[in-house]
A and B are shown apart, each in its own frame.
Chain A
């Protein structure tokens, strides 16, 4: 069983605490000159997404969480599970709705995502920062309005709805920032 001592603590380190994998977001060393040292740590629960603060007596050891980020290609959705594959090994993983965490709207077949595995089970999925998708439905733009910088809603092939400039038309492919959900450009 791998463990980390508090003096190895740094942002990004993954610990097993209260039965859940948790990632260190911030680590602050606190010590009175002549007193006990502590590590004040902000942790993100990788299963629930909840952030909490904990204080460790310095020198304590904590079990490491067997958490691994793996690049995988998104294959398809069978209505219940989203299927991913590790390109090098062809190993496949089925991800349920809970672990997917609402990022299904940014998944496009063949795109490479980061799938976080905990003890070999999918824990969460991060889609690519930018995806290119075809617009399946949007109202026609109004001529002459382009200078105003107005927007209109457009539905993408994945079902996601983003705000696009008025000059963008149905059938076109657009680039979207998945972190903000915002339109970037026409492709």
Chain B
């Protein structure tokens, strides 16, 4: 007999309490809950994120969302107020102790905020949720540091000027043996994931801000230095919880990055999903000044409960779904 039993009984009540707590947090701040489609006609071209493709027997096909970002931005362009969503999202090829291909993402947008202010709100949200239950863990410290200072502090290099060769040498000094050819950004990803974040104290929230422009995704360039993008990430211990932007609203830059992503996908032989024409049109009509962030709810639950593996907080991970 196959093992039919759901695997995360111990986390079930905590999940319900957390979801109620998140909704309470936003209700108190007058942020509107919205719903957008899981199944979409187009998909992001970001080469680092792969969409699941869903097909119907009648020949129709679409993509399962990797995040609700695009439709939520269309809502904002249409005049929606501050909005949030608890969304189920899907990512191809992402499976491991911290990844399930289907997971719960909390995404929200705030008018008139920049990425620094929104990062502070993310910290407030985590602290607020951690106080909901006396048995839950809570972060004891906060560190706010720029991407550049983080690399200088941990590895003694400047991530804005170091070339791939230098980054490779740093990785070698860290005892990392690598199989496969990496470009500059991949070396940076490797170092932050395997050499820097693992050294973060387990009870500390770390906000990393101002990423290299090459890792901007949909963040606008920083006003004080255009080599940087107004992007931030929040870690609890070594676990990445949230990623946010002071949102890019410039249409020409959006097109430039989309074309760059498309070219990269072609060059690497990745699938080319049908682009989302609606987002481009919405940006053309005007996206208000805002900041947005996505936070992994399952991972937050892992940290609150002290779980080491994501399947400890998901009753039906893909293998048994």
Residues of A that sit less than 8 Å from B by CB: 7, 17, 28-38, 40, 52-60, 62
Contacts and interface: CB of A to CB of B under 8 A. Distances in A.
Give the most central of B98, B180, B193, B294: most A CB within 10 Å.
Answer: B180
A96 to B, nearest CB: 30
Contact of B97 (A29, A37, A53, A57): A29
A28 B97 contact: yes
Interface string B92-104: 0111111100000
Interface residues of B, number: 32
A7 B77 CA distance: 39
Nearest to A56: B179
B181 A29 contact: no
A34 B177 contact: no
Nearest to B96: A29
Interface of B: 46, 48-49, 93-99, 176-182, 185-186, 188-190, 192-194, 215, 217, 233, 240, 243, 294, 296
Contact of B94 (A36, A37, A56, A60): A37
Contact of A55 (B95, B97, B179): B179
A33 to B, nearest CB: 5
Given A55-B194, A57-B186, 16 more contacts: A29-B98, A30-B193, A31-B94, A32-B189, A33-B243, A34-B46, A34-B48, A34-B215, A35-B189, A35-B192, A35-B193, A36-B186, A36-B190, A37-B93, A55-B179, A56-B179
A121 B188 CA distance: 42
B192 A32 contact: yes
Contact of A54 (B46, B179, B181, B182): B179
Contacts, number: 82
26 contacts: A7-B95, A28-B96, A29-B96, A29-B98, A30-B193, A31-B94, A31-B99, A31-B193, A33-B233, A33-B240, A34-B48, A34-B215, A35-B192, A36-B186, A37-B48, A38-B190, A38-B193, A40-B194, A52-B177, A54-B178, A56-B178, A57-B180, A57-B181, A57-B182, A57-B186, A58-B93
B5 to A, nearest CB: 23
Given A55-B178, A57-B182, A60-B180, A35 B215 contact: yes
Nearest to A7: B93
A32 B180 CA distance: 18
B234 to A, nearest CB: 11
Contacts of A38: 189-190, 193-194
